[in-house]
Structure 1
Amino acid sequence: MNGLEQKYQFWLSIVTVCYNDEKNLTRTLDNLRRQPKDHVQIIVIDGGSEDNSKNIIQANLDLISDWVSEKDNGLYDAMNKGIQMCRGQYIVFLNAGDVFHDDHVLPYVFQNHQNADILYGDAIFVHQDGSYKSPRHKIIPKSLNWKSYKKGMVICHQALFVKSSIAVLYNTTYKVCADLDWAIRSTKKAASTCNLGITVCDFQDDGISSRKRIQALIERWRILSHHYGIWQTFWNHLSIPLAFIIWKSHRFRTLKWSSVRSFIHHFTVKL
């Protein structure tokens, strides 16, 4: 494998996290089965599922390199377990339901990585049945650095290949948007990045940050304020308070001072 450093057993570690999601786990594993398997470590972290997930894992042990099924402290705790089990030079997260866009993604990545610390590409939204839904609304930057995230997750988390040597652990105090904080902190450590110029993955836009929008807005504000400063984040990201106020008010004509006061309370506490 071109560019494989001797201290790593694999070129790439793919981490899949799941919990009581046998249908999506099967979809992801079926997709991974169509990808090249040489120099690839596939890690499955199951949160002690009570459905058929564990049996599905055991039925795919010819594909899966390492796995664990046990209770955890949430999504990001499970993803940290994946990082700690990683034996690949690069790591990418492809959680249950996420898939690589086509069968040519990994061969292309293997040939065009330029040994950069971070590789990244684009992603598309799909429905639960895997059919096309829409492109991502954010356009990926031609070049990436830690300041690229000033307005949020400009790169889809599943389209980021990060060298294990710079991949930080997730801050589990964030319950919804720890991936944004993780991407910023990991990119801060990167000496080089590479825009792959391809669509890397298809993902369902129904993750935890989509289901818990208000908590996501609050965490996102705190993360961006921490890394870029409160005032710069406010001016660069006016959509955060606007979205919060609209959600609280439902309609502009019913806007109340209590909504504004609630916003101020949420976004100034513990900043």
Structure 2
Amino acid sequence: MTTDKLLSIITIGLDIDDISTTFLSLPQPLPEWVQYLIVAPDSIFTSLRQRISNTDIQYIADSSHGVYSAMNDGLASSKGQYIWFLNSGDISLITDFSILNKVLVHSIRHNTNIIFFKPIFHRWVYKLNLFLSFRQIFLFTTIIQLMPCGHQNILIASEAHPPFNSSFKFSADFNIISSVLRSNLGLTSVESFPLARQSSGGISDINRFLVFRERYLSTIEHRPLHITFLSYFAFLLRILYLFFSNIVKFATQSL
């Protein structure tokens, strides 16, 4: 993979308005060290080019095999030393690319493979991650099976970024983070400012179960027995929580 750019920003999407909103949320114009790629159905490329008047954008036709296959298409065409997936509907919170440039240059100098940025969630478990060291993030992610933050607030070095498992439906990004943390190929850093606000919708209970299952499968790959046991215990607790929360929801609706 050629890496003649410092950063590749990859946007996956189907909707012209959402893709345009995401791109235009970035400071304009983009600096020369940034590569921007859009992976979308080729049927909307003409309309996108009319909406976004930037000739430096690279358009990649979506292979139509799911979102993670599309993310792999973008990854295969990236030329940046770091990869940022800013998907359709996500909003960049970067106001000045020079700050991000300093972070990336420092990270390259120290062989940093994964950079976590401040999540904007208010849940304490995500805030806690800002104060955790590399090993603590590893254990927290492995055992409790929570994302330190969404992939919109994570940059991964291209040389350490494995392809997404396209057989997953919901948690291939979690699988990537687990894989990079497990590899111990480089250091991890945590920055005190956010990169983006992610677009997220609701999720059904059956899909939430699939999320739990995929994250559990991600955490037990090549694990010692005690990690596998703790991960399985966390998985069971999540399923029990889902079960009893639905009982409570049904009971309150019946009153």
TM range (shorter): 0.7 to 0.9
* Corresponding residue pairs, total: 236
The normalised TM-score by structure 1 is 0.75
Could you tell me which runs of 5 or more consecutive residues in structure 2 were left unpaired when the two chains were aligned.
none
Q: Which structure's residues are more often helix, by fraction? A: 2
The normalised TM-score by structure 2 is 0.79
Whether the 8 Å contact between 2:212 and 2:235 is mirrored in structure 1 is no
Aligned letter for 1:226?
E
Partner of 1:122: 118
Whether the 8 Å contact between 1:14 and 1:92 is mirrored in structure 2 is yes
Partner of 1:176: 170
What SS class does the counterpart of residue 27 from structure 1 fall into? helix
What SS class does the counterpart of residue 226 from structure 1 fall into? coil
Cα offset for 1:26? 1.5
1:99 to 87, 91, 108: 91
Identify if the C-alpha distance between structure 1 residues 138 and 63 changes in structure 2 by more than 3 Å, giving closer, same or farther.
farther
Q: Is 1:225 matched with 2:213? A: no
Identify if the C-alpha distance between structure 1 residues 135 and 241 changes in structure 2 by more than 3 Å, giving closer, same or farther.
closer
1:138 to 116, 126, 129: 126
CA displacement, residues 88-124 of structure 1 (integer Å, 9 cap, x when unaligned): 11111000111221313x3222113322222221232
Indicate the structure whose relative CO is greater, using CA pairs within 8 Å and at least 6 residues apart.
Answer: 2
Q: 1: distance between equivalents of 2:120 and 2:205?
A: 15
What SS class does the counterpart of residue 204 from structure 1 fall into? coil
Identify if the C-alpha distance between structure 1 residues 124 and 29 changes in structure 2 by more than 3 Å, giving closer, same or farther.
same
Aligned letter for 2:99?
Y
CA displacement, residues 147-199 of structure 1 (integer Å, 9 cap, x when unaligned): 34122211221111111011000011111111100111123333112212112
CA displacement, residues 192-219 of structure 1 (integer Å, 9 cap, x when unaligned): 1221211221112327799932321222
2:208 to 205, 213, 225: 213
Q: Is 1:38 matched with 2:32? A: yes
What SS class does the counterpart of residue 36 from structure 2 fall into? strand
